[in-house]
A and B are shown apart, each in its own frame.
Chain A
Amino acid sequence: MSVLLIAEHNNKNLKPFTLNAITAASKIDADVHVLVAGSGSENVAKEVAGIPLVKKVLHCDSPSYQNYLPENLAPLVIKNADKYDHIVASANTFGKNFMPRVAAALDTSQVSDVIKVNSPDTFVRPIYAGNAFATVKSNDKKRCVTIRPTSFEPAPKTGGSAQVEKVEAADVPNFSKFVKREETKSERPELGTARIVVSGGRGLESGENFKLITDIADKLNAAVGASRAAVDAGYISNDHQVGQTGKVVVPDLYIAVGISGAIQHLAGMKESKIIVAINKDGEAPIFSIADYGLEADLFKALPEFLSELNKLNTIQK
């Protein structure tokens, strides 16, 4: 039976991780329907209808859904859940927030952070910060599943023409209110989807020194990441954190600078294709997973790195 996937968007455009979740949903069942709940979100519904893997779009437009308050969104999902065996969303702060409310209301046990779909009821998911992979079988009739986006390729965006069906808003409880969102604006690629990530840790010693990281990131057209220690110390904002409870990234190139490599950090980056570690402590655990390790003082190595990059004729974008 069909899959209902909940789209993440900003009322203007679809967020890219929804495309990865659509790929995963299509491995559960080919009949993928997508719920777009938003306010002034017609463009998003159109965008989703054009995704070839999507067979039908349920579009609900109401001020109640402007800011994804989970108390408002969950009743709408539940109201439309009858016809579906699977409810699917991305395992990011969007999906993590509302999906368990849906699962609890449906009395079903959620399968979180799926990295592989073996069959419609059997999934692989990381546990213990990715230090073990569990293969699990859900015996519930209705299954709530969240998808680790970076474990699936994004679905192609254009060429489809799914039917868009309007659905009515559900009653909202009115006991929570959105106040504001402070989004970090950046010209750089998004951390979750960037081809190259340059990350800094406590070794940077201050927020000002993070400029050494951002200079290299800009040269390589890379996103900027950070260890929890660097975020806790206030060097950089929380949306840059890579790790077990931060973001999980799988870039082609991950450059870890001044990061010792705690288990919790490795959980967020160790699937990267090529890992570079720059650290003055030759015994740092990060070297045990690095393809290329450079034992050096980052304050000398980073300016040198930038000047070597400047010498190159071309840099892949």
Chain B
Amino acid sequence: MKILVAVKRVIDYNVQIRVKEDGTGVHTDNVKMSTNPPDDNAVEESVKLKESGKVKEVVAVTIGEEKAQETVRKALAVGADRGIHVKAESYIEPLGIAKILKKVVEKEKPDMVFLGKQAIDDDCNQTGQMLAAMLNWPQATFSSKVVLKDKSMEIVREIDEGLETIEVNLPSVVTCDLRLNEPRYASLPNIMKAKKKPIEQMVAKDLGVDISNRVQQLKVEEPPKRKAGIKVANVAELVSKLKNEAKVI
């Protein structure tokens, strides 16, 4: 079996976001970038399935500018076999990304596509579900446990009420939760080896799909700031403040 795993380059999760003064977006110059955290879980699960012997090949794909390749290199360094970089110079909405991924799926014919459940930059939570719909495949979102069978997968999903177990036929799209696994770190020898693994280049606008953005960003602004509060000396003072000042208990 074969897995296609999609990874996205985003501002590192530890970076304090700064909104641009002119309202056009957030500062990205000289800001640390990393792989979107749940995408690391998607790569880890793909590699684990390969190590279990059930999966023969893991192909990592990213869509974005030149430097987005770093995310594919990182996936190769932890065990993906080869990479695909679809070049795109500007932001593409999840709808366009799903269309590009569909093209890649048609070419690669994987049995499963793994993605992170949500990107931590635009927080859309759409791409995996859209790709599944376009392919007319089943989907397993927010997955925290994956059991691969011969022709299906049993998946435990994290939902608002607790946990849900579903079974989806292959081929299928899986979006990964942060609790699915513990992503490994690449060893230095594996980072060196990954440099020799092939990354195929494609160009988004040459794929023959409509990737025009439909949602116009009018402005980006800072959320209202909370005013600084006070420190209380002890528990009695805290309870008194909550009772008499804030009047919430």
Decide if the interface of chain B is mainly helix, strand, loop or mixed: mixed
Place the interface of chain A in its size category.
Answer: 35 or more
The docked-state distance in angstroms from the alpha carbon of A307 to that of B152 is 54
Partner of A312, one of B123, B142, B249: B249
Residues of B within 8 A of A309 (CB): 239, 249
B69 close to chain A: CB less than 8 A? no
The docked-state distance in angstroms from the alpha carbon of A140 to that of B214 is 6
Residues of A within 8 A of B50 (CB): none
B-facing residues in A80-117 (Cβ within 8 Å): 92-94, 96-105, 107-113
Check A132–B239 contact: CB distance below 8 A.
Answer: no
Residue in A71, A140, A232, A295 with the greatest tally of chain B CB atoms within 10 Å: A71
Partner of B246, one of A183, A244, A287, A291: A291
Q: A96-B141, A136-B217, A316-B249 are in contact. Are A103 and B162 (CB under 8 A)?
A: no
Q: A108-B214, A137-B216 are in contact. Are A244 and B123 (CB under 8 A)?
A: yes
Check B232–A263 contact: CB distance below 8 A.
Answer: no
Check B125–A238 contact: CB distance below 8 A.
Answer: no
Check B17–A245 contact: CB distance below 8 A.
Answer: no
Q: How far is the CB of B248 from chain A (nearest CB, A)?
A: 4
Check B242–A239 contact: CB distance below 8 A.
Answer: no
B-facing residues in A216-272 (Cβ within 8 Å): 220, 228, 231-232, 237-239, 244-245, 247, 252-253, 263-264, 270
B93 close to chain A: CB less than 8 A? yes
Decide if the interface of chain A is mainly helix, strand, loop or mixed: mixed
Q: A93-B142, A175-B137, A294-B234 are in contact. Are A104 and B123 (CB under 8 A)?
A: no
Check A109–B94 contact: CB distance below 8 A.
Answer: yes
Since A128-B121, A175-B169 are in contact, a sample of 7 more A-B pairs with Cβ atoms closer than 8 Å, ordered by chain A residue number, is A100-B125, A128-B26, A132-B26, A182-B164, A289-B229, A293-B231, A296-B235
User: Which A residues have a C-beta under 8 Å from some C-beta of B?
Assistant: 69-71, 74, 92-94, 96-105, 107-113, 122, 125-140, 173, 175-184, 192, 196, 220, 228, 231-232, 237-239, 244-245, 247, 252-253, 263-264, 270, 273-276, 287-296, 301, 304-305, 308-309, 312, 315-316
Q: Pick the 8 closest A-B CB pairs, nearest first.
A: A100-B129, A291-B229, A104-B130, A109-B214, A131-B17, A176-B138, A104-B133, A101-B133
| 21 contacts across the A-B interface (CB closer than 8 A) | A93-B159, A94-B160, A100-B128, A101-B130, A110-B94, A112-B126, A127-B123, A132-B222, A137-B215, A140-B214, A175-B169, A228-B178, A237-B163, A238-B158, A238-B179, A239-B159, A245-B118, A252-B248, A263-B14, A264-B13, A305-B239
User: Which B residues have a C-beta under 8 Å from some C-beta of A?
Assistant: 11, 13-14, 16-17, 19, 26, 38, 93-95, 98, 117-118, 120-134, 136-139, 141-142, 144, 154, 157-169, 177-179, 213-223, 226, 228-232, 234-236, 238-239, 241-243, 246, 248-249
